[in-house]
Chains A and B, each alone.
Chain A
Amino acid sequence: MKSIQQPVEMKFMNEVLAHLHDVSIGYDTPLIEGINVEISEGDVIAILGPSGIGKTTLLRTISGLIRPLSGEIELAIPSRGGLGYIPQRLGLVGNLSVRANVSMGARVRTSRWWPAVFPLPKEFEEDITKAMQHLGIEDIADQPVRILSGGQQRRVATARTVAQKPKLVLADEFLGELDDDNVEVVMSTVRATIRSQNSALIMVEHHEELAKEVANRIWRIKDGKLIEEVVA
C-alpha cells in the first residue's frame, strides 16, 4: 500500500465551515448553477460580478434565508450566533440606540433559553463597548440609529457583527458609503475579529481593486456560473 506522508501543516489545517454541493440558486429561475465550493476558517472571500447576477441571492442562500433550487448546503457552525449577516440595507432597528443595536450581536451568544427581557451578562457588555470603540461609535452610543448618517450606520452594523463573534460573516456591500479612512477602520476591525475567532468572511463587493486588496479568495459570477479566481 502506498503511504502518503502528511505534510506537517495538515495538523493545523483550517476546518471547513461551509460546503456547497452542486448548488443552484435563484427565485423562480436559476441565477447561478452548479456551485461546488468550500469555505474554511480564515477565508476572506470577495464575490464579484455585475448587478442582478445573483451575488446577494448567493449570500441569502448561504445564510439560510432562502432555499437553494437544488443541491445541498452543509454548515458546520452553530445555528445560534454562528452566522453574522450584514445585508445591503444593514437591518438596523432605527428606533433603538446604537448600543442596543450592537448588543443584539452579543445577545445571540447567550443560550437560546436566556430570557429576551433579561440584561446581558457583564462580560458581554464589555465586548459591546469594545466593538463600539474599535469602530469609533462609542460617542454616539445613546443616539437612535435612525438619525445617523449612512456611513455611521454601516459602522453600527459592523459593530453588531463584531460583538457577535460569529464563525462565518456574510456582508453585502458593507464597505459602500464609507470613505477611505473608514474602510480601513472597518476592514481592520473585521479582520481582527476573523483572526481572533478563526472565522471566515464572504463579502459582496463592487470595487474590484478593494476586493483584491482585502480578500484571499475571489469568486466571480459570470454566465450563471461561479468561477474561483486565483488571487495573485
Chain B
Amino acid sequence: MVGDWGRLSGGWDNLVIFFNESLWPPDWSILEAQSYPVCDQEVELFCSVAWLGMVETIKIAFVATALGFVFALPLSVLAANNLSPLWMAIPARIILAAMRSLPSIIWAVLFMIIFDVGTLAGIFAMTFYTVGYLGKLQFESMEGLKNAPLEVAKAMGMTRAETAWYIALPESANNLLSHLMFMFEYNVRHGTVIGLVGAGGIGLYINTYLKLTQYDKVVALLIVVFIVVVIIDFLSMAIRSTVTEEGDVQRPSWSTIFLPASISSKYHTTPMKYNSSKEDE
C-alpha cells in the first residue's frame, strides 16, 4: 500500500541477509561439467552449464545480429531522408518502428507459437527486434553524414545505389560498426531474457535456477554474461579502429604530458603512423 512506510522496516536487513545467504558467494559449480550427459571433452569447462548456455546464446545473438544487419541496412538507406525521397523514407521508417515497437520477448512468444520452444524462435525474435532497432540507429547516423560528398555524387549523376554503397556506407562505417557491435552485445545480454521464455541459451539455465531459488548460481551466470559483454566491448574497439582517426594517431603518453617537449621527444618521435608518406605542402 502506498504510504505504508512500515513495510520498509527491516528492508535493508532483509536485503543483506538475502545477499549473504542466497546470492554471495556465487556458486561456480556452473563452470563444472554437468553430471548428465557424460562429458567427452578434455576440458571440463566445455561441458559446463555456463559454457553450453553462453555458447548457445552467442550463436543465437550472432546469427540474429548478422541476419538483422542484412535486412536493416537496405531499410536504413531507404529511411534516411538525405539518401531517399520522402515517399520511400516514410514507409521504411514505419516498418522499422513497427519492428522495434514489440520488445524481443513478445516476438519470442509469437515465434514460439509458430516454431515451438527452442533456439529457432529465439533467433527469429532477436532478428526482428534487431532490424527495427539497428535500422533506426543506422539511418540516423547516415542522416548525420557530411553534405559535401553527397552533393558531389548528386552533381556527378551517381545513382542512389551508388551513393549509398560508395559514400553513405563508408562514411558512416564507424557508426555502423559501433551499432552492429552494440547490437550483438545487446542480443547477448538479451539472450538471458529471451531464454526465460524458453527460447534457448543461457537464459534457459538462469530461468531454471531462478525457479529452483538457486540464486548463487544465477549470480555466477550473470557474471559470465558480464565478462562476455566486456570482451565484446574490446572487440568493438579493435574492429572500429580500422575506420576511425583514433587508429591513425599514436596515443599521447604520460611522459609527453608531464615532461618538457625536449625530453619527451627523445622517447616519442612519431606522432603519425603515416608520417613517411605525408608531404609538407
> When the two chains form the complex, which single residue of B149, B150, B274, B281 contacts A151, counting CB atoms closer than 8 Å?
B281
> When the two chains form the complex, which single residue of B164, B170, B245, B274 contacts A93, counting CB atoms closer than 8 Å?
B170
Judged by a CB distance under 8 angstroms, whether B277 is at the interface is: yes
Q: Which residues of B contact A107 (CB under 8 A)?
A: 158, 162, 166
Q: Which residues of A contact B174 (CB under 8 A)?
A: 95
Contact, CB under 8 Å: B151 / A82: no
Which residue of the partner chain B has the closest CB to A66?
Answer: B151
Judged by a CB distance under 8 angstroms, whether A177 is at the interface is: yes
Interface residues of B in 12-53 (CB under 8 A from A): none
Judged by a CB distance under 8 angstroms, whether B116 is at the interface is: no
Q: Nearest-CB distance from B128 to chain A (Å)?
A: 26
Which residue of the partner chain B has the closest CB to A170?
Answer: B155
Judged by a CB distance under 8 angstroms, whether B161 is at the interface is: yes
Docked pose: A151 CA to B146 CA in angstroms: 20
A interface majority secondary structure: loop
Docked pose: A17 CA to B212 CA in angstroms: 81
Q: Which residues of B contact A166 (CB under 8 A)?
A: 156
Contact, CB under 8 Å: A140 / B277: yes
Judged by a CB distance under 8 angstroms, whether A37 is at the interface is: no
Q: Nearest-CB distance from B74 to chain A (Å)?
A: 12
Q: Which residues of B contact A112 (CB under 8 A)?
A: 157, 159
Contact, CB under 8 Å: B248 / A94: no
Contact, CB under 8 Å: A78 / B245: no
> When the two chains form the complex, which single residue of B149, B245, B272, B280 contacts A92, counting CB atoms closer than 8 Å?
B149
> When the two chains form the complex, which single residue of B166, B245, B281 contacts A182, counting CB atoms closer than 8 Å?
B281
Q: Nearest-CB distance from B165 to chain A (Å)?
A: 4
- The proximity string for B residues 156-184 relative to A, scoring 1 for CB distances below 8 Å and 0 otherwise, is 11110110111100110110000000000
> When the two chains form the complex, which single residue of A78, A90, A149 contacts B281, counting CB atoms closer than 8 Å?
A149
Docked pose: A116 CA to B157 CA in angstroms: 13
Which residue of the partner chain B has the closest CB to A136?
Answer: B279
Contact, CB under 8 Å: B281 / A150: yes
A117-B149 contact given A139-B277, A146-B248, A151-B279, CB 8 Å threshold: no
Contact, CB under 8 Å: A85 / B157: no
Judged by a CB distance under 8 angstroms, whether B266 is at the interface is: no
Judged by a CB distance under 8 angstroms, whether A65 is at the interface is: yes
Contact, CB under 8 Å: A108 / B149: no
Contact, CB under 8 Å: B281 / A152: yes
User: Which of B152, B166, B272 has the most CB atoms of chain A within a 10 A radius of its CB?
Assistant: B152
Q: Nearest-CB distance from B241 to chain A (Å)?
A: 12
A87-B274 contact given A78-B157, A104-B158, CB 8 Å threshold: no
User: Which of A95, A115, A164 has the most CB atoms of chain B within a 10 A radius of its CB?
Assistant: A95
Docked pose: A90 CA to B153 CA in angstroms: 11
Which residue of the partner chain B has the closest CB to A157?
Answer: B152
Contact, CB under 8 Å: A149 / B279: yes
Interface residues of A in 81-107 (CB under 8 A from B): 81-87, 89-96, 100, 104-105, 107
Contact, CB under 8 Å: A116 / B281: no
> When the two chains form the complex, which single residue of A82, A90, A139, A150 contacts B157, counting CB atoms closer than 8 Å?
A82
Contact, CB under 8 Å: B155 / A96: no
Contact, CB under 8 Å: A84 / B156: yes
Which residue of the partner chain A has the closest CB to B174?
Answer: A95
Contact, CB under 8 Å: A63 / B166: no
- The proximity string for A residues 67-83 relative to B, scoring 1 for CB distances below 8 Å and 0 otherwise, is 00000000000111111
- The proximity string for A residues 124-160 relative to B, scoring 1 for CB distances below 8 Å and 0 otherwise, is 0000000000000001100100111111100000000
Docked pose: A95 CA to B162 CA in angstroms: 16
Contact, CB under 8 Å: A64 / B159: no
Judged by a CB distance under 8 angstroms, whether A9 is at the interface is: no
Contact, CB under 8 Å: A83 / B157: yes
Judged by a CB distance under 8 angstroms, whether B148 is at the interface is: yes
- A93-B171, A116-B164, A147-B278 given. 13 additional CB < 8 A pairs? A63-B151, A65-B151, A87-B151, A91-B150, A91-B152, A100-B170, A104-B153, A104-B156, A104-B162, A112-B159, A143-B274, A152-B279, A178-B281
Complex A-B: 17 CB contacts under 8 Å: A80-B156, A80-B158, A83-B155, A83-B156, A85-B151, A91-B148, A95-B170, A95-B173, A107-B162, A116-B162, A116-B166, A143-B274, A146-B245, A150-B281, A164-B156, A166-B156, A178-B281
